[in-house]
Amino acid sequence: MKWKQQLNGMKAYQPGKPIEEVQREYGLEKIVKLASNENPYGFSPKVKEFLESDYTNHAIYPDGYAQNLRTAVAKHLGVKETALMFGNGSDDLIAIITRALLYPGVNTVMANPSFSQYSHNAEIEGADIKQVPLKDGKHDLPAMLDAIDENTAVVWVCNPNNPSGTIVSDEELSEFIQKVPSEVLIVLDEAYYEYVNAPEFKDTLHYVNEYPNVLILRTFSKAYGLASFRVGYAIGNDEVIAKLDPVRAPFNNTILSQKVAIIALEDQEFIKECTEKNEKGKKQFVEFCEKHNLNYYPSQTNFILFEVKTDSDVVFKEMMKRGFIIRSGNALSSPGYIRVTIGTEEQNEEFLRLLEEVLKEQGVFA
Ligand SMILES: *Cc1c(COP(=O)(O)O)cnc(C)c1O
For 262, the 3-state DSSP assignment is helix
Distance (angstroms) between ligand 1 centre and the Cα of 191 equals: 6
pLDDT digits (tens, 9 = 90+) for 236-277: 999 999 999 999 999 999 999 999 999 999 999 999 999 999
Model pLDDT, residue 281: 98
Distance (angstroms) between ligand 1 centre and the Cα of 195 equals: 14
**In percent, how much of the chain has pLDDT > 90?**
93
Rounded to two decimals, the pTM is: 0.97
According to DSSP H, which parts of 27-109 are helical?
45-52, 67-77, 90-101
What number of H helices and E strands is found in the chain?
Answer: 13, 12
pLDDT (average), residues 65-88: 98
Q: What radius of gyration do the chain's Cα atoms show?
A: 21
pLDDT at 16 over 80: no
CB count, 10 Å around CB of 294? Answer: 19
- 128-133 and 152-158 strand pairing: unpaired
| Residue to mutate (ligand 1; options 91, 300, 301; most atoms within 8 A of CB) | 91
pLDDT at 80 over 80: yes
List the domains of the chain with CATH numbers.
5-43+268-361 (3.90.1150.10), 53-266 (3.40.640.10)
Q: Which residues line ligand 1 (CB under 6 A)?
A: 89-91, 115, 158, 162, 189, 191, 219, 221, 227, 232
Model pLDDT, residue 14: 74
pLDDT at 301 over 90: yes
pLDDT at 17 over 80: no
Helix 19-26 vs helix 312-321: crossing angle, to nearest 10: 80
Distance (angstroms) between ligand 1 centre and the Cα of 86 equals: 13
pLDDT at 172 over 90: yes
pLDDT (average), residues 181-199: 98
CB count, 10 Å around CB of 238? Answer: 14
Model pLDDT, residue 366: 85
According to DSSP H, which parts of 198-344 are helical?
205-210, 238-244, 255-266, 268-291, 312-321
Distance (angstroms) between ligand 1 centre and the Cα of 158 equals: 10
pLDDT (average), residues 288-299: 98
> Among 223, 265, 260, 269, which residue's Cα sits nearest to residue 50?
260
Distance (angstroms) between ligand 1 centre and the Cα of 294 equals: 27
Atom of ligand 1 nearest to the CA of 158: 13
pLDDT at 21 over 90: no
User: What is the pLDDT of the chain when averaged over all its residues?
Assistant: 96
Give the Å distances, CA to CA, from 63 to 66, 70, 76. Answer: 5, 11, 20
